[in-house]
Structure 1
Amino acid sequence: MNDVPATLGQLGAQGVCPASATPLPHGASGLISVGSRPLQAVAAPESGSGLRSGERADSEVPAPTEQRYLISDLCAYLDAYLPPEQVKECYRAYMFGAEAHSGQTRKSGEPYIYHPLAVARILAEMRMDYKCLIAAFLHDVIEDTEIAKDQVAELFGEDVAELVDGVSKLTQIDFKSRAEAQAASLQKMLLAMTRDIRVILIKLADRLHNMRTLDSMSPEACRRISRETLDIFAPIANRLGINRVRVELEELGFAHYWPWRRRVIQRALIKTSGARIEMVSTVETALKRALQQEDIQGAVEGRRKHLYGIYSKMRDKSRDFSEIVDVFAFRVTVDRVDTCYRVLGLVHNLYKPVPGRFKDYIAIPKANGYQSLHTALVGPQGIQIEIQIRTEDMQRVAESGIAAHWMYKSGNQSTANPTTLAADWLQNLLEMQREAGNSVEFLEHVKVDLFPGEVYIFTPKGHILSLKRGATVVDFAYAIHSDVGNSCVAARIDRRMAHLNTILRNGQTVEIITAPGARPNPGWLNFVVTAKARVNIRGYLKNIRHLEAQNFGRRLLSVELAAFNTDVDRVDPLRLAAYLEDGNLRGIEDLFGEIGLGNRLATLVARRLVGAEGDETAGEARQDQDLHPHRLAIRGTEGMVVSFARCCRPIPGDDITALFSPGRGIVVHRAECRNLGSLDGKRDKRLDVQWSDQPEGEYPTEIRVEIGNRRGALAVVAGAIAEQGSNIENVLSREKDGMTTDLEFLILVHGRAHLARIMRRLRQIPLITRIVRVARS
């Protein structure tokens, strides 16, 4: 591997973690000490895992540069910011956890208590409060020992018990798959996080230490845990603004999941960095000199972007490594906000700015509270560099995010405060949980929500909303309020009318137009990108479908009961209650819903409710009724529980029949449809239906027109169809013999009479030689 692949395609060929990966050497472990390391982007030197025989172990997994310490060391560290009585409580929790985990070891062979101690150390570096640290010492006792939640609450308080329970996995429930179990446990944790944000901070610290010691796991487990870390935990850390934790999680996950890709990128960096070391020093010196000349107090720091960030940019933007120009970034930290803008002018005078690469995250903060000025410059030797300018407070928030609330208790309650922004995100999580059908669906919505790539949109009153890049008008409407999204019909973008599927761009002003009778369209799911919009649309459609199914199920059951000269209101209550209990149904509305969705046949339900399921006389009477059945009238307003077959496309006026489709309701066909086959012996699947006297709406149907090849022929036919008040949904053209062409139109009609008028009008066109209605097999 002496040649450095320059593209992602070449990286992909080497991106599989070898099954024979050998464990990383780990620092010698003492009996009562535990390993930890400072939170940093890329550790150096590095040691490898999964290297081929004879290769230098220099670039695989960031090596934990072990800092060995005792519980007494941690207590001494806590003395710097906690009162003595709270430090004693932390020590008591450590002793309790050590006793609870006595005899348990980790995969590495170390005593298990090493892990909680390391987790507490990570949280101590974030300056977390003592209850959070106590929960860190105890975070596995409910899950992995005989200790119960009540016992933790009795000894350490209800707050600590709730934190520990929130972090614990669901182990008492049997799940169908690992994915379902994982989703349920993550859902439990995220919902606990909505009650107390410290739950996720403990979990992030827990995951960070697990990633640092992942080398003791099997290659399969390494890949699974690393994938979960990159998909869930690193994005959550980013969403909460905890940059130090995010970077290390990404680096460790990248190293274990794509070790060869990481190695190739690092070798490419080493190959190209030699000539740029002098450039970094030159830029730092120039920036410091410029600050001194203007008498500005500030710190200048140059750094290389971390490997996973470079890889993500290559992947997301489909660029070669040679095209990633801003590998090096410089941070200027000053005292005040107005000084940031002064420094911006200085650096733009020093080096030429790259057009279109300036971002003001001070005026418009990111969704996680991050604030800074970003600008790209053409530095020495024509190499592009990135300059970040921020205050010391902004730097603290950039590194610690939500954890800065406990670290400094700043009392800043602005809209850019990470605590305020986190609370808004947690409210969105609660809304998603209420609308999601199950834990797996909820987790998918969360994943969508964790990768924003933001775009900033203004409301007509000047408020700013941050949305995921690629967001549409519908996403914006739901970001304002779910009721606004449910009733939106159009929008004005910068005072111009726009469709609902219009993709929004930075800085646009959007005004949503709503209508009282409007409701979400299932087609919106094809273009919305935010989790809030997707989950609200699905939730609304599920509720609407459930109500439609209940109403339709009542009608179906009423038709069947009419054959027995009774109705729903006159059914024997005892028989009804017994049937509901046997079917595990909570009430008659659930029964209507089951019938409407086709999960229960109205015929069989009716026979049970009238006590005729074993009565031969009643059966004969019912068969006599079938000769002149009470047909269900199709109005066209039944909603999603009634669908019309695409093979024959029935319209009002056609003789029709219907088939039950479990989970969907019924599917209406034309009576002569060839796809029905023989209905003899399929009485349990068939439903006798007819059109209502006054059906509503428009119905799609297909016609085939044979027309001579002439210029403008299609326009003539389309115009004639439009004259008769019909809309063309689709058209297909097939040339037959060079002289004639078949045009197949999918049009909307009110019924057979409307279709007949259209066809009569088309026959008046001289070019048309043949018109037929299409029925597909």
Structure 2
Amino acid sequence: MIAVEELLEKVRAYNPKSNVDLIAEAYRYGKDMHEGQFRQSGEPYFSHPIEVAVLLTEQRLDDSTIITALLHDTIEDTNSTYTEVAEKFGVEIAELVDGVTKLTNLQLSSSVAKQAENFRKLFMAMSKDMRVILVKLADRLHNMRTIKSMRPEKQMQKARETMDIYAPLAGRMGMQWMREELEDLSFHVLNPEARNSIMRRFITLQKETGDVIQKITSDIRLELQTAGIEASVLGRAKKPHSIWRKMEQKEQGFSRLSDIYGFRIVTSNEADCYRVLGAIHQRWRAVPGRFKDYISQPKSNGYRSIHTTVSGRDGKRVEVQIRTQQMHDVAEVGVAAHWAYKDGVRDANPFAVDPAKWVASLNERFDAAGDHDEFLEHVKLEMYSDQRFCFSPKGDVVKLPRGATPLDFAYAIHTRIGDGCVGAKVDGIRVPLWTRLKNGQSVEIVTAEGQRPQATWLDIVATGKAKAAIRRSLREEDRERFVKLGAELSRVAFEHIGKKSTTKALDIVAKHMALKDADEVLARLGSAEINARDVVSVLYPDLISGAEDEIDPSRTVVGLSSDQSFERARCCQPVPGERIVGITYRGKGVVIHGIDCPVLSDLEDEPERWVDLQWHSGRHAPIYSVSYEITISNDAGVLGRICTLIGEQHANISDLNFVDRKPDFYKLLVDIDLRDAEHLHNVRNVLQADSDVASLARHRDLERKP
């Protein structure tokens, strides 16, 4: 077991300004809490949290993450509590430890419905603080390294879960080294015979050809030296699982598999990356179709590199990756680079992706999914997909996942283009709609008026956006069936309170919900867009049991003294359900800001002005105005439909201004009165789902400070 001083030395190596006293205190506290506990291997249990912390020091992470690693099992497995951890180490660390504990309890390999719900919780935890999943991944990696001490059936279950969920998640976060090791450790458990076979063939190949990696590395270094380029060259054989996957994908045996060696060339600047590429291609013949430029077209997780495959020494195919040192750092640790430290300060790597924005984009896409199957489909596409870059006839780049078709391309451009698609041309040649697109291809979509999506398209497309749009169109065609189903649901709901569902009653409901007529109410009821309880409560709110009274607007915030007044900050406009903090202002009382408001960074040196607040739980009145910037198509009826969509969510438009008018688009600034974060979320979802809404963003006017 690593001693505390050895751990502190590892942290000091990259962060001399680290709070080593607090880390040492966490080490002692964790050791005391786990005293008398042992792992199945017989080692003291606390050796595990220490190893997790060491893994995170290798990624140069901040003090809070290291301390969380040391304490990540205390709340779950010892007498320690959230309150005690918060008192000793602060609320931030207590929140992180609690987040890891909740992730540990999620059963991600359970039934579809349960798995979907737990995935939602996983991504919610990531959206609160990405460091939670970084600790969890390190925890899983150490458990996989020591998996042999578990029972065989437990090994299989953990290995399958790791292969299906944690390894792809690590890869999606840009932590490729961790993904490869997790996959290989799982492969060792799930298919030991296949792994051993590959290892034996590797040994045989090395005996026959000698140290190929050293030879090719020397060849590359010589070419770079001749070209006058300074760069480091690293060579390696690919992991057994990576080779096994290639064998399955290409349906080839080991002897026919060529690119089993990989080489990385790390340069000092971006220009040298392309000079290296030129030198490599001059010396060796490039393999057609095996070139990817992720520098000019980075992956969404921040990954940048040039990939090329060449026929190297003795005709062997060799994969070469070319990148700068900063790109290499992001490629090694992915989004963890956002928290990395160097010489006591956060390492401001320009290529590191902001985790908050990345996870927010994930959650928005996942929230748009309807049922469990659709949600899991979104998750798996997002976690497992590789990207393809295709071009429109105008030269615009469209990013798509592996396996995407011209139909996906059409829907990626616009829903109307997808719905009206009747054919496609790839590189000028007419192709079937089920054709799988490749990198660099130019795609032209042929449309026809009156064309509607077909049910068979669901089996052709690969993207969640295309599938959702096709399903939405098919639902519209199923309107008659939904009206009949809605009529039955409405009849049962009204009879439950001793009333009758009549056309006149439903017309009144339609008017209240800003819908066209009674049939529209029934259609939406049948398609589960609204529920029967909401329909009945429009006419008979007093007969609906459990109806909540609205909270008095003067007492919506908890944490203020009786003599303190408050108002919402105009810069960030927080609503109930969002995390908030109060700031005292002379003559204004307390102003409530959202916890993510940029204005707060200017007040970090004035902690005496900060007030810990939270919203009162319960039903709030729809009085909280939030500004949205919306770009919509300049077509007849679009603005009216957008206003109707907002009204359908029982939200009121209190102000509307045209910010910009173009021949094809309008940009609007709309103030919407809402109840809470859930109400805001619902309004945002229905607007984003509309095909004529080009963009939607919450408007934050930072000039309107208190």
For the aligned pair, the TM-score class normalised by the smaller chain equals 0.5 to 0.7
Q: Return the offset for 1:268.
A: 0.8
Contact 1:561 1:568 in 2 (8 A): no
Q: CA distance change for structure 1 residues 541 and 375 in 2, over 3 Å: closer, same or farther?
A: same
- What's 2:371 paired with? 437
Supply the distance in 2 between the matched residues of 1:407 and 1:165 (Cα, whole angstroms): 22
User: What are the equivalent positions in structure 2 for 1:676-715 lying under 5 Å apart?
Assistant: none
Contact 2:109 2:115 in 1 (8 A): no
- What's 1:608 paired with? none
Contact 1:486 1:518 in 2 (8 A): no
- What's 2:90 paired with? 157
1:350 aligns with 2:283: yes
Supply the distance in 2 between the matched residues of 1:148 and 1:272 (Cα, whole angstroms): 55
Deviates most, 120-129 or 291-300: 291-300
Which residue of the other structure, out of 264, 288, 304, is the alignment partner of 1:331?
264
- What's 1:384 paired with? 317
1:223 aligns with 2:156: yes
Contact 1:490 1:497 in 2 (8 A): no
Supply the distance in 2 between the matched residues of 1:434 and 1:150 (Cα, whole angstroms): 36
Q: Return the offset for 1:297.
A: 1.4
SS at match of 2:65: helix
Contact 2:18 2:63 in 1 (8 A): no
SS at match of 1:261: helix
SS at match of 1:376: strand
Deviates most, 313-322 or 180-189: 180-189
Letter in structure 2 aligned against 1:209: H
Deviates most, 279-288 or 317-326: 279-288
Letter in structure 2 aligned against 1:385: V
Contact 1:491 1:510 in 2 (8 A): no
Q: Return the offset for 1:516.
A: 11
Supply the distance in 2 between the matched residues of 1:485 and 1:141 (Cα, whole angstroms): 54
Which residue of the other structure, out of 334, 359, 371, is the alignment partner of 2:292?
359
- What's 1:290 paired with? 223
Q: CA distance change for structure 1 residues 373 and 553 in 2, over 3 Å: closer, same or farther?
A: closer
Supply the distance in 1 between the matched residues of 2:432 and 2:60 (Cα, whole angstroms): 49
- What's 1:471 paired with? 404
1:134 aligns with 2:85: no
Q: CA distance change for structure 1 residues 393 and 82 in 2, over 3 Å: closer, same or farther?
A: closer
Q: Return the offset for 1:124.
A: 1.2
Q: Return the offset for 1:273.
A: 1.6
- What's 1:239 paired with? 172
Letter in structure 1 aligned against 2:260: V
Contact 1:402 1:422 in 2 (8 A): no
Q: Return the offset for 1:311.
A: 0.7
Q: Return the offset for 1:175.
A: 12
Q: Return the offset for 1:232.
A: 1.2
Contact 1:353 1:376 in 2 (8 A): yes
Supply the distance in 1 between the matched residues of 2:106 and 2:234 (Cα, whole angstroms): 51
Supply the distance in 2 between the matched residues of 1:113 and 1:485 (Cα, whole angstroms): 58
Q: CA distance change for structure 1 residues 519 and 256 in 2, over 3 Å: closer, same or farther?
A: same
User: What are the equivalent positions in structure 2 for 1:26-37 lying under 5 Å apart?
Assistant: 33=1
Supply the distance in 1 between the matched residues of 2:224 and 2:527 (Cα, whole angstroms): 76
Q: CA distance change for structure 1 residues 425 and 464 in 2, over 3 Å: closer, same or farther?
A: farther
Supply the distance in 2 between the matched residues of 1:158 and 1:560 (Cα, whole angstroms): 46
Runs of at least 5 residues in structure 1 that lack an aligned partner in the other structure: 1-32, 34-68, 572-587, 601-777
- What's 1:405 paired with? 338
Q: CA distance change for structure 1 residues 501 and 223 in 2, over 3 Å: closer, same or farther?
A: same
Alpha-carbon displacement from aligned partner over 1:219-242 (angstroms, at most 9, x marks no partner): 111111111111111111111111
Supply the distance in 2 between the matched residues of 1:529 and 1:84 (Cα, whole angstroms): 48
Q: CA distance change for structure 1 residues 185 and 86 in 2, over 3 Å: closer, same or farther?
A: farther
Supply the distance in 1 between the matched residues of 2:435 and 2:366 (Cα, whole angstroms): 24
State the TM-score, normalized to the length of structure 2.
0.63
Supply the distance in 1 between the matched residues of 2:420 and 2:527 (Cα, whole angstroms): 32
- The root-mean-square deviation of aligned C-alpha atoms, in Å, is 4.3
Q: CA distance change for structure 1 residues 302 and 590 in 2, over 3 Å: closer, same or farther?
A: same
SS at match of 1:99: helix
Q: Return the offset for 1:475.
A: 2.7
Letter in structure 2 aligned against 1:306: K
- What's 2:47 paired with? 114
Supply the distance in 1 between the matched residues of 2:337 and 2:357 (Cα, whole angstroms): 15
Contact 1:491 1:499 in 2 (8 A): yes
Deviates most, 278-287 or 447-456: 278-287
Supply the distance in 2 between the matched residues of 1:158 and 1:546 (Cα, whole angstroms): 51
Contact 2:421 2:446 in 1 (8 A): yes
Aligned length: 512
SS at match of 2:339: helix
Supply the distance in 1 between the matched residues of 2:17 and 2:33 (Cα, whole angstroms): 24
Supply the distance in 2 between the matched residues of 1:267 and 1:174 (Cα, whole angstroms): 36
User: What are the equivalent positions in structure 2 for 1:457-468 lying under 5 Å apart?
Assistant: 457-459=390-392, 462-468=395-401
Q: Return the offset for 1:514.
A: 8.6
Letter in structure 2 aligned against 1:267: R
1:187 aligns with 2:120: yes
Supply the distance in 2 between the matched residues of 1:351 and 1:505 (Cα, whole angstroms): 24
1:103 aligns with 2:103: no
Q: Return the offset for 1:212.
A: 0.7
Alpha-carbon displacement from aligned partner over 1:485-541 (angstroms, at most 9, x marks no partner): 885545765688877655433223456789999886543321222344445655786
1:554 aligns with 2:451: no
Supply the distance in 1 between the matched residues of 2:504 and 2:217 (Cα, whole angstroms): 88
Letter in structure 2 aligned against 1:374: H
1:427 aligns with 2:361: yes
Contact 2:12 2:18 in 1 (8 A): no
Supply the distance in 2 between the matched residues of 1:280 and 1:560 (Cα, whole angstroms): 72
Q: CA distance change for structure 1 residues 422 and 301 in 2, over 3 Å: closer, same or farther?
A: farther
Supply the distance in 1 between the matched residues of 2:59 and 2:349 (Cα, whole angstroms): 18
1:525 aligns with 2:525: no
Runs of at least 5 residues in structure 2 that lack an aligned partner in the other structure: 506-519, 533-706
Q: Return the offset for 1:274.
A: 1.9
SS at match of 2:353: helix
Letter in structure 1 aligned against 2:486: G
- What's 1:41 paired with? none
Q: CA distance change for structure 1 residues 441 and 381 in 2, over 3 Å: closer, same or farther?
A: same
* Max Rg structure: 1
1:447 aligns with 2:380: yes
- What's 1:752 paired with? none
Q: Return the offset for 1:131.
A: 1.6
Contact 2:162 2:183 in 1 (8 A): yes
- What's 2:27 paired with? 94
Supply the distance in 2 between the matched residues of 1:80 and 1:442 (Cα, whole angstroms): 43
Supply the distance in 2 between the matched residues of 1:136 and 1:309 (Cα, whole angstroms): 29
Supply the distance in 1 between the matched residues of 2:469 and 2:87 (Cα, whole angstroms): 40
Contact 2:392 2:444 in 1 (8 A): yes
1:76 aligns with 2:9: yes
- What's 2:538 paired with? none
Which residue of the other structure, out of 249, 262, 269, is the alignment partner of 1:316?
249
Supply the distance in 1 between the matched residues of 2:301 and 2:108 (Cα, whole angstroms): 34
Q: CA distance change for structure 1 residues 460 and 137 in 2, over 3 Å: closer, same or farther?
A: farther
Letter in structure 2 aligned against 1:419: V
Q: CA distance change for structure 1 residues 452 and 179 in 2, over 3 Å: closer, same or farther?
A: closer
Letter in structure 2 aligned against 1:242: M
Q: CA distance change for structure 1 residues 181 and 103 in 2, over 3 Å: closer, same or farther?
A: farther
SS at match of 1:102: coil
Alpha-carbon displacement from aligned partner over 1:160-182 (angstroms, at most 9, x marks no partner): 33333332347999999677655
Q: CA distance change for structure 1 residues 258 and 117 in 2, over 3 Å: closer, same or farther?
A: same
Q: Return the offset for 1:480.
A: 5.4
Contact 1:557 1:568 in 2 (8 A): no
SS at match of 1:79: helix
Q: CA distance change for structure 1 residues 184 and 463 in 2, over 3 Å: closer, same or farther?
A: same
Q: Return the offset for 1:294.
A: 2.8
Q: Return the offset for 1:259.
A: 0.8
